[in-house]
């Protein structure tokens, strides 16, 4: 998601009447900052996939950390070394305030727009840093299990590293089950889980950031141009199927044993979204999801 593309939130893009200050982008300082806020509109994604959720942040995790998706909380996972800077942007005209995480190319990889006046005051507690301070104190290199024989979390962390490009290039080495499936089934999958009340999890990726949610799909919609929408738990997910160039079903070990994930790749080979089951969901839910995954047609 670039500064001028895909965010759709007021105060995201630089303007003449905006003030911007750098805050500490390193973990755990960044995690402490984000968890200060109670009412946030959090957005992660790009032109092909996007997730939008209002609420408060769970403690953000980094690659190699434990991972959980809890109801009602904004779940953010970061490749800490890929988050080059973090800024607080205030629109002096409207008073809108947003915390934005940027990569080395200046792209906004995640934005949290502060919805309450109390949170806009609390943002003053965020530690301000000077330009260039990030490079002087790099984040420690995390220990992440190899994706070739790793569990579900290792697969997600491999995607978080570089969009999954290196993983996809050598995917023949993966020891788990995987197959290409028809991307055209995605609307039917979402419609089905909505109609039967089957909870699912969705993760959406931007460079160095992943935002995830889990729960029941309340409503789905699609446009003639191929955009698919789903209201999922407290989140809104949007996928542009016209921008999806590959779709794969990948099984990896998770809380209930081998668990299927639908991975959507863009034209550059980057994984932009994953539909799956996260964590402990109950044996019946897991079984129903695996039956659905097994029924999906090959590409």
Q: How confident is the model at residue 291 (pLDDT cuts 50, 70, 90)?
A: very high
Computed over every residue of the chain, the mean pLDDT equals: 89
What pLDDT is attached to residue 14? Answer: 45
**DSSP 8-class letter at 263:** E
Is the pLDDT assigned to residue 9 strictly greater than 80?
Answer: no
Cα-Cα-Cα-Cα dihedral sign, residues 128, 134, 137, 139? positive
> What is the Cα–Cα distance from 3 to 49, expressed in whole angstroms?
16
Nearest to 23 by CA among 140, 130, 135, 104: 130
Q: What is the DSSP string of 137-205?
A: SPPPPP----GGG--HHHHHHHHHHHTTHHHHHTGGG--S-EEEB-GGGHHHHHHHHHHHT--EEEEEE
Q: For residues 171-176, give the mean pLDDT.
A: 88
Cα 218 off chain centre by:
20
So what's the pLDDT on residue 7? 45
Residue 222 to residue 295: CA distance in whole angstroms? 22
Contact criterion met (CB below 8 Å) for 98 and 82: no
pLDDT band at 140 (very low <50, low <70, confident <90, very high): low
Taking 70 as the threshold, does the pLDDT of residue 10 lie above it?
Answer: no
Q: According to the model, what pLDDT value does residue 12 have?
A: 41
Answer yes or no: is pLDDT of 13 > 80.
no
Q: Per residue in 43-81, pLDDT tens?
A: 999 999 999 999 999 999 999 899 999 988 999 999 988
Closest-CA residue to 41 (of 31, 51, 32, 30): 51
What's the pLDDT at 87? 94
Provide the pLDDT confidence category of residue 3 given band limits of 50, 70 and 90. Answer: very low
Task: Determine if the pTM surpasses 0.75.
Answer: yes
CA 236 – CA 184 distance, rounded (Å): 20
What would the pLDDT profile of 222-277 be if each residue is shown by its tens digit?
Answer: 998 889 999 999 999 999 999 999 999 999 999 889 999 999 999 999 999 999 99
Find the mean pLDDT for residues 17-26: 86
Pairing of strands 49-57, 73-78: parallel
Question: pLDDT at residue 135 above 70?
Answer: no
Question: Please, are residues 262 and 247 in contact by the beta-carbon 8 Å criterion?
Answer: yes
Give the pLDDT mean for 90-104. 91
pLDDT at 15: 46
Mean pLDDT of 12-38: 82
């Amino acid at each position: 998601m670039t500064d001028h593309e895909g965010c759709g939130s007021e105060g995201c893009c630089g303007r003449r009447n905006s003030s911007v200050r750098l805050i500490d982008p390193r973990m755990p300082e960044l995690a402490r900052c984000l968890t200060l806020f109670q009412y946030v509109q959090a957005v992660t994604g790009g032109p092909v996939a996007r997730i939008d959720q209002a609420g408060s942040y769970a403690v953000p995790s980094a690659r190699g950390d434990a991972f959980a998706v809890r109801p009602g909380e904004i779940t953010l996972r970061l490749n800490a070394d890929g988050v080059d800077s973090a800024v607080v942007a205030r629109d002096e005209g409207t008073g809108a305030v947003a915390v934005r995480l940027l990569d080395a190319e200046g792209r906004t990889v995640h934005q949290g727009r502060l919805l309450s006046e109390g949170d806009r005051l609390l943002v003053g507690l965020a530690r301000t840093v000077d330009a260039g301070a990030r490079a002087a104190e790099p984040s420690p290199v995390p220990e992440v299990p190899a994706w070739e024989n790793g569990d579900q979390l290792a697969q997600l962390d491999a995607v978080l590293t570089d969009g999954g490009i290196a993983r996809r290039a050598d995917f023949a080495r993966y020891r788990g089950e995987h197959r290409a499936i028809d991307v055209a089934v995605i609307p039917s999958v979402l419609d089905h889980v909505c109609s039967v009340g089957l909870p699912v999890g969705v993760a959406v990726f931007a460079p160095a950031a992943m935002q995830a949610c889990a729960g029941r799909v309340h409503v789905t919609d699609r446009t003639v141009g191929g955009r698919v929408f789903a209201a999922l738990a407290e989140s809104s997910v949007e996928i542009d199927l016209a921008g999806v160039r590959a779709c794969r079903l990948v099984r990896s070990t998770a809380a209930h044993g081998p668990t299927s994930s639908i991975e959507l790749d863009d034209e550059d080979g980057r994984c932009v979204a994953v539909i799956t089951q996260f964590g402990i969901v109950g044996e019946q839910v897991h079984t129903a999801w695996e039956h659905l995954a097994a029924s999906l047609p090959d590409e």
